[in-house]
């Protein structure tokens, strides 16, 4: 830590190399809300648990009375850190203070904290600061800088007049001093994760940056500090991007459909799904930070912990393909994703959807493959052959792991043309970011399923009648038959407006169908879109070669027509 009196160089950014190498992290949402399990006065709230105080409009005094009984006596920093390390995570970020205003650390700035306000009396952050290094983990803190539903003047509490007041009073009296405490009392802090900046001023964001830099010059600050003054980018909640990004960034995800513990949410993503998501993020150049929500006793739910251990088996075996991996040099592949070693001598092919014919095809790859093998499964090599510009790797008949990673040792510089490849037996998605657009736009659509449970879709929107189109050029190494599937949302006004998909010489018309919309049930959010899959018909690609797939409306589209998420060429199942 630096001397307080030193002048602070706000232009000096911390070294982000450790962050870039880490790739996989544990996010922890934990506070008194965990003790309610998402139930208040006998009513079950579905959706994110840490928002219970707001959703049930609990007066600050009543919530504080509940918080005063918070006693997570089974909390073990060592067990949490051991689990994170076993899963293959490299750092932990824990809620030091969430929107409920309750500090999960001993704070001189506010007595409303776990050590002074509850029978528990311990400081979990101090215990984690000790445990994490023992397990090779770094530690970072989440801090809700604008929203504080307990402090007078804190942002976000529109239901309890008792906390109305001056924001500056809260900001100067609680927020800044608590950030100072976090930066002073816990040794090296790897990063600070601010959240929901709301209308916070640039001056206030910079004040926080200044505080962090003064006390911990190497502590990274995420983008949710607001006003564009963070060191790295946090994407939207539960957002896994389709496109590669440069710079330092992370996807943040939930294990079930909440951040804070909710006793009735059992919708755990499987270890296979978690690894798929981790791989997708790493292949695009980012970090994957997965949240767990410990319960009111301080235990990580057993179902969540068991799944994380399964993830650990995979990350350990496939470590070389994840940690410090470079993003994919290849375009989207229907069987999965690719990462590369930083020296460019190895490519890691993450086979997320195992080809039924046991052949992994890479079209348009230039360079020499010296050796192909299943990563972490001994020295046995796989046969590599070339055919009509495509590289084929003979896979073991049964997938040796899910997902299987194939490592290619390559000589010299590998390159790949960026054109998408369509392969039989696999789902070939055509995604909005890679389309050529004429008189329509690429947009993003986000909505909640349950409260706070965000979903995101890249979409093609704002179609301008028959002159507008989206197209993708692709190549295929062989003839094939595919279902042509659309995934889209359309409003009533678009119902019946015909579109046409052309692939080579084939033209398939289809009617846009109203998919309906859902009342968001949240003030100021209007209606959420609903998406549907629509099968337009079967497309035959008569031979190997290059094709263009184009979609367009045939009539004027006053309401913007469809929000198109994906066009897919999907396998046509056959009898045997
Ligand atoms: O409102 C919070 C929410 O409770 C949770 O902490 C997430 C995690 O990214 N951040 C906010 C919403 O984006």
Cα-to-centroid distance, 109 and ligand 1 (Å): 24
CA angle 57/58/61 to nearest 5° reads: 145
Mean pLDDT to the nearest integer, 318-329: 96
Q: What are the two backbone dihedrals, phi and then psi, of residue 301, each rounded to the nearest 5 degrees? A: -50, 135
Phi, psi of 310 (to 5 degrees): -60, -40
Q: Which residues pair with 218 in a beta bridge?
A: none
Ligand 1 neighbour 252 (Cβ under 6 A): yes
For residues 305 and 3, the model is more confident at 305
**pLDDT tens-digit profile of 31-58?**
999 999 999 999 999 999 999 999 999 9
**Residue range 161-177: average pLDDT?**
98
Task: Indicate if ligand 1 lies below 6 Å from the C-beta of 71.
Answer: no
Determine the pLDDT at residue 2. Answer: 40
Q: Is the CB of 195 under 6 A from ligand 1?
A: yes
Distance 335 CA to ligand 1 centre (A): 33
In angstroms, how far is CA 287 from the centroid of its own chain?
9
What is d(CA 338, CA 359) in angstroms, rounded to the nearest whole number?
A: 16
Q: What is the C-alpha separation between 551 and 503, in angstroms, rounded?
A: 9
Structure tokens at 64: 């504080």
446 Cβ closer than 6 Å to some ligand 1 atom: no
Q: Which two tokens stand for residue 181?
A: 């405490």
Per-residue pLDDT averaged across 257-264, rounded? 98
Banded pLDDT at 10 (limits 50, 70, 90): low
| DSSP line for 241-282 | -SS---SSEEEEEESSS-SS--TT---PPPHHHHHHHHHHHH
As a whole-number percent, the residues of the chain with pLDDT over 70 amount to 98
Banded pLDDT at 7 (limits 50, 70, 90): low
> Does residue 67 have a pLDDT over 60?
yes
Is pTM, for the whole model, over 0.85?
yes
How many CB atoms are closer than 10 A to CB 403?
21
CA 324 distance to own-chain centroid: 18
Predicted pLDDT at 356: 85
CB atoms < 10 A from the CB of 283, how many?
A: 26
Candidates 51, 164, 161, 165; CA nearest to 98 is: 51
Is the distance from the beta carbon of residue 48 to the nearest atom of ligand 1 less than 6 Å?
yes
- The pair of three-digit structure tokens given for residue 21, joined into one six-digit string: 């190498």
CA distance 84 to 308: 8
pLDDT of residue 5: 52
- How confident is the prediction for the chain on average, in pLDDT? 95
Q: Residue 50: CB within 6 Å of ligand 1?
A: yes
Q: Ligand 1 test: best mutation among 195, 262, 291, most atoms within 8 Å of CB?
A: 195
DSSP H or E run through 228? none
Cβ of 237 closer than 6 Å to ligand 1, yes or no, is yes
pLDDT at 4: 47
Structure confidence at residue 403 (pLDDT): 94
List of E strands, 46-203: 91-97, 138-144, 191-195
Instruction: Summarize pLDDT for 524-537 with one digit per residue, the tens.
Output: 788 899 999 999 99
Please answer whether residues 471 and 548 qualify as being in contact, where contact means their C-beta atoms are separated by less than 8 angstroms: yes
Between strands 404-416 and 346-351, the pairing is: antiparallel
CA 161 – ligand 1 centroid, Å: 24
Tens digit of pLDDT for each residue in 83-115?
999 999 999 999 999 999 999 999 999 999 999
- Give me the pLDDT at residue 8, please: 64
| Probe target for ligand 1 pocket from 142, 144, 156, 237, with the most ligand atoms within 8 Å of CB | 237
Q: How far apart are CA 401 and CA 405, in angstroms?
A: 8
The dihedral of CA 355, 356, 358, 364: what is its sign? negative
CA dist 225 and 389 (Å) reads 48
Q: Which 3 state secondary structure label does DSSP give 119?
A: coil
d(CA 154, CA 163): 8
Q: Cα separations (Å) of 201 from 57, 61, 204, 205? A: 27, 29, 5, 6
Residue 296: CB partners within 8 Å, gap ≥ 6? 32, 34, 35, 36, 37, 70, 72, 261
Q: Is the confidence at residue 187, as pLDDT, over 80? A: yes
The secondary structure of 169-188, three-state, reads HHHHHHHHHHHHHHHHCCCC
Q: Which residues contact 101 (CB under 8 A, 6 or more apart)?
A: 60, 110, 112, 144, 148, 149, 150, 151, 154
- Mean of pLDDT values over 432-451: 95
Are residues 72 and 296 in contact, defined by beta-carbon separation less than 8 angstroms?
yes
Closest Cα to atom 10 of ligand 1: 195
| C-alpha to C-alpha distances, 373 to 358, 392, 481, nearest whole angstrom | 14, 13, 31
Rounded to the nearest whole angstrom, what is the distance from the C-alpha of residue 194 to the centroid of ligand 1? Answer: 10
User: Does the beta carbon of 196 sit less than 6 angstroms from any atom of ligand 1?
Assistant: yes
């Amino acid at each position: 830590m630096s001397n307080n009196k030193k002048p602070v160089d706000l232009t000096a950014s911390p070294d982000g190399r450790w962050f870039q190498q880490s790739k996989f992290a544990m996010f922890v949402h934990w506070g008194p809300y965990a003790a309610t399990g998402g139930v208040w006065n006998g009513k079950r709230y579905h959706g994110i648990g840490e928002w219970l105080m707001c959703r049930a409009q609990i007066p600050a005094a009543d919530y504080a009375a509940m918080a005063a009984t918070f006693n997570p006596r089974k909390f073990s920093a060592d067990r949490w850190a051991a689990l994170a390390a076993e899963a293959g995570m490299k750092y932990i970020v824990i809620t030091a203070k969430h929107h409920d205003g309750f500090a999960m650390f001993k704070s001189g700035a506010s007595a409303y904290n776990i050590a002074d306000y509850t029978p528990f009396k311990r400081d979990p952050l101090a215990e984690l600061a000790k445990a994490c290094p023992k397990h090779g983990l770094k530690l970072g803190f989440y801090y809700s800088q604008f929203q504080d539903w307990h402090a007078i003047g804190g942002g976000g509490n529109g239901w309890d007049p008792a906390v109305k007041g001056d924001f500056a009073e809260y900001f100067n009296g609680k927020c800044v001093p608590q950030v100072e405490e976090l930066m002073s009392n816990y040794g090296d802090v790897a990063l600070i994760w601010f959240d929901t900046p709301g209308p916070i001023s640039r001056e206030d964001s910079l004040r926080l940056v200044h505080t962090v830099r003064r006390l911990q010059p190497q502590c990274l600050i995420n983008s949710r500090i607001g006003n564009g003054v963070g060191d790295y980018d946090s994407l939207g909640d539960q957002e896994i991007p389709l496109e590669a990004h440069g710079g330092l960034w992370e996807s943040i995800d939930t294990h079930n459909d909440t951040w804070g513990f909710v006793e009735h949410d059992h919708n755990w993503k499987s270890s296979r799904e978690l690894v798929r998501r981790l791989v997708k993020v790493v292949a695009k150049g980012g970090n994957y930070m997965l949240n767990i929500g410990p319960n009111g006793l301080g235990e990580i739910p057993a179902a969540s912990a068991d799944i994380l251990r399964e993830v650990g088996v995979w990350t350990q075996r496939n470590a070389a393909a994840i940690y410090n991996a470079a993003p994919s040099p290849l375009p989207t592949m229907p069987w999965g994703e690719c990462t590369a070693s930083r020296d460019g001598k190895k490519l890691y092919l993450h086979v997320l959807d195992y080809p039924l014919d046991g052949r992994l095809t890479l079209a348009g790859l230039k360079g020499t493959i010296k050796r192909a093998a299943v990563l972490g499964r001994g020295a046995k090599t796989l046969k590599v052959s070339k055919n009509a510009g495509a590289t084929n790797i003979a896979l073991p008949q049964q997938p040796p792991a899910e997902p299987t990673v194939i490592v290619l040792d390559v000589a010299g510089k590998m390159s790949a043309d960026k054109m998408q490849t369509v392969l039989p037996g696999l789902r070939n998605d055509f995604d909005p970011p890679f389309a050529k657009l004429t008189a329509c736009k690429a947009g993003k659509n986000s909505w909640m399923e349950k409260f706070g449970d965000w979903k995101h879709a890249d979409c093609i929107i704002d179609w301008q009648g028959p002159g507008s189109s989206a197209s993708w050029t692709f190549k295929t190494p062989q003839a094939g038959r595919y279902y042509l599937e659309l995934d889209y949302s359309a409003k009533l006004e678009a119902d019946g407006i015909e579109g046409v998909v052309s692939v080579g010489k084939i033209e398939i018309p289809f009617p846009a169908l109203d998919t309906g919309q859902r009342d968001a049930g949240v003030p100021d959010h209007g209606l959420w879109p609903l998406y549907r899959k629509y099968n337009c018909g079967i497309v035959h690609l008569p031979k190997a070669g290059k094709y263009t797939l184009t979609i367009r409306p045939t009539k004027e589209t006053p309401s913007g027509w469809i929000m198109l998420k994906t066009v897919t060429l999907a396998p046509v199942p056959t009898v045997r």
